Structure 1
């Protein structure tokens, strides 16, 4: 289907509306189209470039072309963003997708705020290459604007091989900026991926995208996140993925453990109860009152990934971007299970 232009923005807010901020804008948004049970709307926003103040994040700025995401990943941490619009973090997040109007024009005015060396991350709370992009090309307009500039540091995060349709634009960006395209792969098991990420492209298609990007001069690698205890964290699963990244010519791979905000837990924990009932109680205990797993698990995951990167000749994201070297890992380290849970599981 050919790309459709975003329709004009509604200028008049509902009379007597008690909604404010982004919730008011969402309520006044223009209906654009429907497809496969998904409702598309255009939304006007005051700013496209948002400053990230979280100290644990490696980037200073974020760009999210859409609100909501059709991929419906069970573990998605960004579901809370729909709550700002007085919409649900469950089905609404997956089925009511908002494209940001006049995104490129906004970005053109705002890029002067970015200081040298500050990274811009595209796709931190939505997938910029979800199916809506094939229709509305909001992300493409943003990439075209970025291609007009030089000296920027840009990271793109996606689960979609649709990114290849912007290959020539990405090549232009990479020639005069520091660019990394990060494809997220949580598992190579296509059946498991289908229940974890119901509407995302298959893992092999994402790896092929990494191959083609690198072959065409666009640095690309893999984010293995989230790593889910008892589901995707066995040594065999992680090694298979690192080996596949190396085979595909990926420049780097890094991994992060599952992070569950309350709105995400409300979707993910019932999913575990249905698909992995033997793990349900352990997940409830581990994430009760805490969005993060303990430091011992995260350290073990880091060590395991460092060892596998050495084995297969793949580097970390930090090494790929010529940043600080990771802490060395003892070469005598044994190949151990990430044993947070007592069992690993296949869906029942």
Structure 2
């Protein structure tokens, strides 16, 4: 079981690093490809668009196919498309290969979230979700700063490194990951529309997924322009921005690894309510903090909260169906990357027109408030019993 946990951790670490690598590199690539701030966010969004569109197909298909094969071929395609990003010479070519990387990742990460409840004993599911989330968290703590430092050599170096590590992970998946084949009854009754209809036929599911989308809209809208804001307003270099990102990852790691203890102590509803309220206050305060040290502290506190809440959200969503776990994971990830797409685009408009991060922080805060209202109304937190 420990080997599986480690595999999930490193898969999420590599894909997480690739997903977020554009945030600290955005000012550099903006100059490299001679594009303005308003459209530079599409280098973030193109990856998200590819993921969001194909996850809607990959999830239900993975409930029909052997999860090992889906994960293996997805990881191989991800490694190739990511390395190709390091070879481009134009803004639009970068968008094409980022789109391809997003499509590939859409076939990989849903298998992680869907496999945890299948391979892990019930009492360790929340822990497994936390370990997978820690891979994303540490990708911010170590992957992003390392990526920033590598980019100081040349902007293409991070993409070649991520692609190379992904090939190694593909080999490990082939050797280590067990076959997970759906039962025959599931495959016989499968249709794409039926999978989604079965999942979304309850008001609880619809409200929960809508709330999750709005949460990610605010979350990634703000995150996508952190690097640009730090460069423009605080005049930080790319290496200094990487140092700030280190504290994001550190906070997320602390939250993801220790969050289950907090949830068991406070309870799921209280953890969710307190975490969202604190996040709103911290985001509203962020544009007004007086120095880089305070920015690091504010962002670290926000991401400790996110590291605690994200495994809880994924665990809650996985309770919506026992037979469509891949569909749930893929839909959640599709909504996350849809939130990234529209969040980055909206944040770019706000930042360009108002020339201020204040408008983005207020936008994120409103999204978080709407999220908790929808999640509470759905009743999903009453349907879930957290086990150790």
Scaled by the length of structure 2, what TM-score is found?
0.25
Higher helix share: 2
Scaled by the length of structure 1, what TM-score is found?
0.27
